[in-house]
Amino acid sequence: MRIVIAGAHGQVARRLGRLLSSRGDTVTGIIRNPDHRADLESDGVEPVVLDLEQASVEEVAAVLTGADGVVFAAGGGPNSGIARKDTVDRAAAVLLADAAEAAGVRRYALVSSMGVDAVADGATPDGVDEVFVAYLRAKLAAEQNVLPRPGLDVTIVRPGGLTDDPGTGRVHLDRHVPRGQVPRDDVAAVLVALLDDPRSGAVVELVGGDTPVTEAVAAIP
67 or 127, greater pLDDT: 67
Instruction: List domains and CATH numbers for the chain.
Output: 2-218 (3.40.50.720)
Task: Name the catalytic one among 52, 98, 135, 138.
Answer: 135
- Averaged pLDDT for residues 90-106: 97
- Residue 106 one-letter amino acid: R
- Averaged pLDDT for residues 119-130: 86
Name beta bridge partners: 114. Answer: none
Query: Measured between alpha carbons, how far is 45 from 42 in angstroms, rounded to an integer?
Result: 7
Query: Measured between alpha carbons, how far is 208 from 192 in angstroms, rounded to an integer?
Result: 16
Does the annotation count 135 as an active-site position? Answer: yes
Q: Is the pLDDT of residue 78 over 80?
A: no
- Averaged pLDDT for residues 64-82: 90
- Averaged pLDDT for residues 165-174: 98
Q: What is the mean pLDDT of the chain?
A: 95
Q: Is the pLDDT of residue 81 over 90?
A: no
Q: Is the pLDDT of residue 77 over 80?
A: no
